[in-house]
């Protein structure tokens, strides 16, 4: 159990809304769909109404500093079935990278892989009291693109299972290129935090608002007990089908 999962949830009933591609950039084709994640007719590019409003504010802050730059959405809403699929997929990928057979793993090997996977991935819990952040519509994975729609280099790809993913990994480096990575991460963090988001402690790309992680991080930062307002939510079948609202 992760620390933020102890936070109480007072569901506010806010709807999920599509993220407009007229404002934001997207990673396409979607990376999890490419590896077979079971979205069905549901779209990953949805957020709670209040989160989408704040995301728009964050982009406005970004463009005040860098005209023409945009936030690029890697992933947002994630059904719990997709969370389970991606945890299993990542577990298998890590095992294979270590030359290990899934059928012959020792208990200690299995625990070591799970520890690494769950350092970055949330547990695909179906307990209403402990929903994965992305299943709430309050979490988003994203990066930056410049005025030419080229991805800004952050020094490590989204979802990399290594210390390079930590937001401040490059802060002490003396190398100019590493310093640029840190500056880009700081820019992303500053515009997101200015709009009310909180950042995942282990991931430079993950930001949240209104979910349990956001409430826990807000509590840690302010000392004021905070309650989450978003629990797990399901998109109705047929809603959010890709292509219905995106060009």
d(CA 40, CA 241): 8
Question: Could you say which of 203, 225, 237, 244 is catalytic?
Answer: 203
Characterize the bridge pairing of strands 25-26 and 46-48. unpaired
The vertex-202 CA angle with 190 and 7, nearest 5°, equals 90
What are the tokens at 23?
């404002």
115 is catalytic: no
How many other C-beta atoms lie within 10 A of the C-beta of residue 222? 9
Nearest Cα to Cα of residue 127 among 5, 2, 4:
5
Q: Residue 26 pairs with which residues in a beta bridge?
A: 73
Sheet containing 25-26, strands listed edge to edge, beginning at the edge strand earlier in sequence: 25-26, 70-75, 139-145, 206-208, 198-199
Q: Residue 70 pairs with which residues in a beta bridge?
A: 145
Characterize the bridge pairing of strands 16-18 and 206-208. unpaired
- Continuous segment of H or E residues that includes residue 60: helix 49-65
d(CA 231, CA 135): 8
Residues near 85 by Cβ (< 8 Å), separated by ≥ 6?
32, 36, 37, 38
Active-site annotation, residues: 203
């Amino acid at each position: 159990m992760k620390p933020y999962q102890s936070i109480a949830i007072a569901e506010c009933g806010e709807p999920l809304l599509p993220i407009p591609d007229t404002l934001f950039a997207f990673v396409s084709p979607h990376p999890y769909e490419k590896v077979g994640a079971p979205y069905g007719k549901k779209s990953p590019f949805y957020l709670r109404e209040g989160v989408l409003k704040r995301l728009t504010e964050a982009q406005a802050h970004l463009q005040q500093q860098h005209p023409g730059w945009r936030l690029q959405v890697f992933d947002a809403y994630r059904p719990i079935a997709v969370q389970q699929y991606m945890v299993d997929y990542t577990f298998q990928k890590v095992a294979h990278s270590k030359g290990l057979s899934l059928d012959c793993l020792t208990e200690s090997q299995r625990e070591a892989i799970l520890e690494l996977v769950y350092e970055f991935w949330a547990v695909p819990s179906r307990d209403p009291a402990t929903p994965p952040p992305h299943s709430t519509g309050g979490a988003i994975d994203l990066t930056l693109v410049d005025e030419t729609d080229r991805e800004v280099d952050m020094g490590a790809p989204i979802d990399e299972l290594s210390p390079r993913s930590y937001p401040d990994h490059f802060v002490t480096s003396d190398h100019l290129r590493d310093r640029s990575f840190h500056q880009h991460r700081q820019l992303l963090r500053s515009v997101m935090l200015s709009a009310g988001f909180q950042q995942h402690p282990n991931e430079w790309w993950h930001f949240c608002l209104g979910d349990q992680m956001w409430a826990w991080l807000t509590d840690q930062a302010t000392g004021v007990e905070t309650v989450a307002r978003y629990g797990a939510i399901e998109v109705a079948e047929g809603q959010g089908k890709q292509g219905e609202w995106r060009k």
